[in-house]
Amino acid sequence: MTDTTPTDQIAEPAPAVPMQWGDLLERAKPAPDATISYGTDPLNVVDIWQPAGKGPHPAVIMIHGGCWKTDIAQRDIMNYIAADLRSDGIGVWNIEYRGVDRAGGGYPGSYQDVGEAADLFAARGAGFGFDTTKRVAIGHSAGGHLALWLAQRPALPTASPIRGARPIALDAAISQAGIPDLRQGETLPDHPCGDAGARAMAAGHYAETAPQEMPLTDTPQYLFNTSADWVAPYAYGEAYRDAMAKRGKSVVLAQTAGEGHVEHIAPEGKTWALQKALIKQLLGMK
């Protein structure tokens, strides 16, 4: 298969004014096909997006952002690109999890939720018509951190409370404007997310929670950043790439000019178009 993976590229100029949240969230919101539970908390659920026609369909594991805070965002913020993938024949396993502002959230609960929900894709995804042999996780913003974390979770010590007994091994992880550096995040009280979320997610356990400090796996990692992003600018992707390179792991960084934070999860975003093309490639689609 020809490798068309974007690498360290600047896409064609995008609109001068980046999208704002209202530009996306004020639209009619598409709906998933089913919702299942994986635990006892009301937030322990996964939305299932099933393409039309007979499966098995290629599928992705999706993780929303929102500064790791349930009050800021829940899984339905991803509905627009989930529906876009569904219309292109790609299933979506859209994970909900407890944020740091909910009982049990932060370390270890948020990680346990995401890990358990992702593991369930391997165990039950086929029952919803998904091909579970190809396992790609994609996450936006704080969810980008969690997608990268999932990629390296299998290398955690077996005694870690957030590893799980049989952690899913991913074929790839995609970070959409991710904020993976929890150690840095704790020092940025003026960041749009503040510093409390990163502190609660790390809880001092950087070698278990911060992807650039965790034990490494061979899972390919892809980062997408945009020039007008007020949450995760180019510098975030570049810093992560460089930190991983120092540890001997190469990651792919794709950069898009002129767009902001919202375009990553808007179907018309140029950065989303690059991401969707990569998803299709990773899933072996023409």
Q: What are the pLDDT digits (tens) for 60-109?
A: 999 999 999 999 999 999 999 999 999 999 999 999 999 999 999 999 99
> For residue 151, what are the contacts with CB-CB under 8 A and spacing of at least 6?
137, 170, 172, 173, 211, 217, 219, 221
Task: Give 179-216 pLDDT, tens digit per residue.
Answer: 999 999 999 999 999 999 999 999 999 999 999 999 99
- The mean per-residue pLDDT over the stretch 224-240 comes to 96
Burial degree of 22 (CB within 10 A; 0-12, 13-18, 19+): exposed
pLDDT interval class at 9 (50, 70, 90): low
pTM for this predicted structure: 0.94
pLDDT interval class at 17 (50, 70, 90): confident
Task: Give 154-163 pLDDT, tens digit per residue.
Answer: 999 999 999 9
CB crowding 81-100: b at 16 or more within 10 Å, else e: bbbbbbeebbbbbbbbbbbb
Mean pLDDT score across all residues of the chain: 95
pLDDT for position 8: 52
> For residue 147, what are the contacts with CB-CB under 8 A and spacing of at least 6?
61, 63, 137, 138, 139, 173, 174, 175, 178
Percent with pLDDT over 70 in the chain: 94
Residue type, 21: W
* CB atoms inside a 10 Å sphere around CB 21: 12
Percent with pLDDT over 90 in the chain: 93
First vs last C-alpha separation in the chain: 9
pLDDT for position 15: 47
* CB atoms inside a 10 Å sphere around CB 48: 23
Task: Give 138-156 pLDDT, tens digit per residue.
Answer: 999 999 999 999 999 999 9
Sign of CA dihedral 239, 240, 243, 248: negative
- The mean per-residue pLDDT over the stretch 108-136 comes to 98
Task: Give 40-64 pLDDT, tens digit per residue.
Answer: 999 999 999 999 999 999 999 999 9
Greater confidence (6 vs 269) lies with: 269
**In whole angstroms, how far apart are CA 105 and each of 52, 108, 176?**
35, 7, 22
* CB atoms inside a 10 Å sphere around CB 102: 18
Tokens of residue 272, six digits: 């989303």
pLDDT for position 14: 47
